[in-house]
Amino acid sequence: MALSDLHRLRMLRELAERGTLAAVAAAIGYSPSAVSQQLAVLEREAGARLVEPAGRGVRLTDAGKVLARHAVVLLNAAATAETELANLTHEVRGRIRAVGLQSAARRLLIPALVDVARLHPLVEVEITELELEVALPELRLGTVDLVISDEYAGHPRPRPDGVDHHLLLREGTRLVLPAGHPLAAHPGPVALSSLRHEVWTSSSSGTGHHAMIIGTCRAHGGFDPDLRHRSNDADVQLELVRSAGAVTLLPDLTLPAADPRLAVRDIAGTSLTRQLYAVTRHQALASPALHAYVEALHRHADPACS
């Protein structure tokens, strides 16, 4: 068996993980027909049928599953070889594909990109905004190299095998009210139970922010919030507070320095926090380019976590 192209092995592995030709094509920028053609070439090289029809789609044969399992080993070995070769040179070079939420992109990923461009001009950084629930599978598949993950205290996220979490920042999470709200008249903490009849805004269902708001209202206010507005854009949530009279809980990194139309308060009786992590594949920091970028992220994060 002669397998001449690791790229075709990556397509097979992607199909094993993603399940459809359309999903593979969207992930790697090919058309579904082109993916199918490349897999046909791989079948000829392997001398075995790797894919078979299944309803309106396809599935891996037993041979395809075996080769997909070995493809993971071969692709990881190729990545390790590239890293070791890069370590032999005196120049830090390579491409970093980084993913994060809006606030992380604006306050961490972009400033770190500027640092790396100045210190290591042969490193290319690509930044994409994605929700963590989408980004972590992409990290495991190797289509991105680094993900900024958030985790609210009391609401741990799953940590899949094969990835490492590097703590960047621990920050407060605050109640945000319209400046004219009666509870904003005093600067002290606000009892969450006094907000049971308010209209709330949060991120979409299934996100950590959405779960945090529901959990916090239940645990510290004794009610389920009226989550009438949902957006994964913190700026949209803030505008809903300013203009529509909604209330929300947001971490410090998402808040403007000063806004006369907003009142930011602590919650009485509890301290809400969020942690941000740089998540990479296991041992990926052996790459000089990625190591340089993570160092830059630490410089722009909380000094206590650097």
Read off the tokens for 141: 């598949």
Predicted local confidence at residue 84, as pLDDT: 65
What is the mean pLDDT of the segment spanning 159-177? 92
Cβ atoms of residues 253 and 301 within 8 Å: no
Would the pLDDT of 86 be above 70? no
DSSP readout, 13-34? HHHHHH-SHHHHHHHHT--HHH
What's the pLDDT tens digit per position in 91-140? Answer: 788 899 999 988 889 999 999 999 999 999 999 999 998 878 778 888 88
Predicted local confidence at residue 304, as pLDDT: 47
Predicted local confidence at residue 87, as pLDDT: 62
Would the pLDDT of 209 be above 50? yes
Query: Of 16-20, 159-163, 203-207, 302-306, which range is least confident?
Result: 302-306
User: In the chain, where are the structural domains located?
Assistant: 6-86, 91-169+275-305, 170-273
Query: Of 93-97, 167-171, 300-304, which range is least confident?
Result: 300-304
Predicted local confidence at residue 299, as pLDDT: 94
At residue 207, φ and ψ (nearest 5 deg) are: -90, 160
What's the pLDDT tens digit per position in 17-65? Answer: 888 888 888 777 678 888 888 888 888 888 889 888 888 888 889 988 8
Cβ atoms of residues 189 and 267 within 8 Å: yes
Whole-prediction pTM: 0.75
pLDDT bucket at 306, cuts 50 / 70 / 90 = very low
156: which DSSP letter?
A: P
155 contact partners, CB below 8 Å, separation of at least 6: 208, 211, 212, 215
Fold of 91-169+275-305: D-Maltodextrin-Binding Protein; domain 2 (3.40.190)
Distance, CA of 166 to CA of 284 (rounded, Å): 12
What's the pLDDT tens digit per position in 234-262? Answer: 999 999 999 999 999 999 999 998 899 99
146: which DSSP letter?
A: E
As a whole-number percent, the residues of the chain with pLDDT over 70 amount to: 92
Fold of 6-86: Arc Repressor Mutant, subunit A (1.10.10)
The architecture in CATH of the region 170-273 reads 3-Layer(aba) Sandwich (3.40)
Predicted local confidence at residue 90, as pLDDT: 65
Q: What's the alpha-carbon Rg for the chain, to the nearest Å?
A: 23
Angle CA 103–192–157, to nearest 5: 45
Predicted local confidence at residue 83, as pLDDT: 64
Tell which wins on pLDDT, 66 or 176: 176
Nearest-10 Cα torsion for 87, 91, 95, 98: 80
Predicted local confidence at residue 161, as pLDDT: 79
What is the mean pLDDT of the segment spanning 10-22? 85
CB atoms closer than 10 angstroms to residue 7: 11
Distance, CA of 236 to CA of 246 (rounded, Å): 11
- Kindly state the helix (H) or strand (E) to which residue 276 belongs, with its residue range: strand 273-281
**263 strand-pairing partners:** 177
Distance of CA 49 to the CA centre of its chain: 36
Identical topology for domains 6-86 and 170-273: no
Q: Strand 262-265 vs strand 163-178: parallel, antiparallel, or unpaired?
A: antiparallel
